[in-house]
Amino acid sequence: MSTQHEVAAVRVAPERRAVMLPRGPADASMRAAAGGRPAAGTPPARIRAAIVGATGYVGAELVRLLTRHPNVEIVGLVGRGRTHEPIGGTHIHLDRTGLHVDAVVPDADAVFLALPHGAAAEIVPDIAATGAAIIDLGPDFRLRAAADYPRWYGFEHPRPELLDGAVYGLPELHRDALGGLRDAAIAIVGAPGCYPTATLLALEPLAVAGLLSGDVIVDAKSGVSGAGKSPSERTHFSENHGSVAAYGLFGHRHTPEMEQALGLPVTFTPHLVPLDRGILATIYARLVPGTTAAQVSDALTAAYADAFFVRLTGDRLPEIKHVAHTNFCDIGWRVDEATGRLIVVSVIDNLVKGAAGQAVQNMNLMFGFPEGQALDQLAVVP
């Protein structure tokens, strides 16, 4: 699937209205009474959402979650070369939603982009010009420096001036910045990748507290759905089942995302494991000399005191089954004070907390909804 094909086949509807700020009309009568703008301080009651790239795994998860959201109406699903195609033809489990896939981005208050790298950056300016909030689940607005895109993603960023204003969508650590987008003229969120989500939630509070020293090693395992819906030899059942494969050594595209947030060199080795979903990251780091286990615990506890979706397990190391099909990130750790070594184990569901669920969490913060709206499901076990 070429980026050029994706961009050419996905179009923004002409003559779209601009969404008035702050984002999210409370209801039609309030919109009319306020001349298109909701009353000050009033959270919106219902917004219109569109999903671009709805035919992939992440798009399907977005549909599943947003259909549960009491404040959201899905007004459009978008896929390349589609014309009023029932979503059930691609995702049979979504058939009863009655939704269809088209090639045009409809008028919406929030637009989710689940596209290949380079594709979102081409259409974001047109969507942003309408005032719609944009949550990009690809990499096009994750990195702050435009110069990093040719090296890591193989394309020149077409709108580098938009990078500075984009907010990195890790809600637990950037909640205020996300909320601030409600009054911004242009609201773009670059949602984190799945591997960086698991890694940064585990380490960023420690880096901010000045407890880490030297480089970081991230050894992470992901289920096969992380490779996307399009089949390949790598994801073929007979090739993947009963095996574990490392890939992307010294060159994985999520590496600069981690280094950007931590301010430390990261050695990242991902592995493909024969699971349908989930990520387990085992992270090795050096602590500043003299750092105690209590300091590590205090830094993480303080960072996530009000974070419903981050569960600190301490010495009880978490497992993928504990978070499957949920928006939770579970973090456990051990400290060897004698050597100053830290091992952290972080687990997420790559399609929910690592993608669609976190995107909905971002939307909730941007529009003033309860942060956990539509995301309160528990793990599915066994």
Contact 9, 103 (CB under 8 A): yes
Dihedrals φ, ψ of 245, to 5°?
-130, 130
What are the start-end ranges of the E strands in 98-249? Answer: 100-102, 104-105, 110-113, 133-136, 167-168, 188-190, 212-222, 245-246
Residue 71 and residue 369 in contact, taking contact as beta carbons nearer than 8 Å:
yes
Active site annotation includes 194: yes
Q: How many CB atoms lie within 10 A of CB 210?
A: 10
Nearest one of 273, 211, 202, 209 to 241, comparing CA atoms: 273
The Cα 285–Cα 302 span in angstroms is 20
296: left (phi over 0), alpha (psi -120 to 50) or beta: alpha
Where would I find the H helices in 88-213? 119-128, 148-153, 175-180, 194-208
C-alpha to C-alpha distance for 166 and 188, rounded to whole angstroms: 5
Residue 324 identity: A
Amino acid at 30: M
The neighbouring-strand residues paired with 73 are 48
Distance CA 21, CA 3 (A): 32
Catalytic residue (one of 105, 114, 162, 194): 194
Pick from 28, 29, 71, 30: nearest CA to 49: 71
Active site residues per annotation: 194
